Chains A and B, each alone.
Chain A
Amino acid sequence: RKEVEQDPGPFNVPEGATVAFNCTYSNSASQSFFWYRQDCRKEPKLLMSVYSSGNEDGRFTAQLNRASQYISLLIRDSKLSDSATYLCVVISGGSYIPTFGRGTSLIVHP
């Protein structure tokens, strides 16, 4: 089983739709969780940190479920510009070495 798993998609949704991604992790000692966004041929950019209490930033909501070992990302009112690959990143223990999921591709169409 991979350490961090994501559905690669693509998720193909119309503008204005709400879409949710999940990411599961295998290491119960994982401490830090993030969602990154990567556009084609560009570097990943931090979208949101995922805290135990969950967090919201505008149209984006991230949640952590430690019991089931997954994190989620919810995007409301999708925009064309949201089209990208969304990477789940988990950091375990004291090594600070990030483990990446394969990414979930989102395509928002008119």
Chain B
Amino acid sequence: GAVVSQHPSWVICKSGTSVKIECRSLDFQATTMFWYRQFPKQSLMLMATSNEGSKATYEQGVEKDKFLINHASLTLSTLTVTSAHPEDSSFYICSARDLVASYNEQFFGPGTRLTVL
């Protein structure tokens, strides 16, 4: 299947700092990528839909000024958690849909585990 990478795989930072997470589709192009957050023993929560060349679409309750999304190319989307606080500690996962796929399969990155001290 298609490969999606995320970087970094884990990060520990101090409260108040900003953290940037990259999501790349390695062997396919993706006009749309999705960003999720998952707290322990809970289901994936969609945060936003990242659209190449346009603004991201955020889910209700997700602050767009806190979670900055940039989708600069067909293979890269970034999520920046600005002024991170301990409650932002979570597992952040991106997924991408192959532009030419016929059945809309989503392929997930390995996730980024963020811990804010």
Question: Which A residues are closer than 8 A to B by beta carbons?
Answer: 31-32, 34, 36, 41-46, 49, 51, 87, 89, 91, 96-98, 100-103
Inter-chain contact B95/A98, CB cutoff 8 Å: yes
Question: Which B residues are closer than 8 A to A by beta carbons?
Answer: 1, 32, 34, 43-44, 46, 49, 91, 93, 95, 97, 103-111, 113
Q: Given A34-B105, A42-B111, A49-B103, A96–B43 Cβ distance below 8 Å? A: no
Q: Given A97-B46, A97-B49, A100-B43, A46–B105 Cβ distance below 8 Å? A: yes
- Closest 3 A/B residue pairs (Cβ): A43-B108, A32-B104, A102-B43
Q: Given A32-B103, A41-B91, A43-B93, A98–B43 Cβ distance below 8 Å? A: no
Instruction: Report B26 CB to chain A, min CB distance, Å.
Output: 14
Name the residue on A nearest B112 (C-beta): A43
Q: Which residues of B contact A102 (CB under 8 A)?
A: 43
Q: Which residues of A contact B104 (CB under 8 A)?
A: 31-32, 91, 96, 98
Interface of A is mostly: strand
Q: A43-B111, A91-B104 are in contact. List 20 more A-B contacts (CB 8 A).
A: A32-B104, A32-B105, A41-B113, A42-B110, A42-B111, A43-B109, A43-B110, A44-B93, A46-B105, A46-B106, A49-B105, A51-B103, A87-B43, A87-B44, A96-B32, A96-B97, A96-B104, A97-B34, A100-B43, A103-B43
In the complex the two chains form, what is the Cα distance from A60 to B13 in whole Å?
42
In the complex the two chains form, what is the Cα distance from A97 to B44 in whole Å?
13
In the complex the two chains form, what is the Cα distance from A3 to B7 in whole Å?
31
In the complex the two chains form, what is the Cα distance from A36 to B32 in whole Å?
19
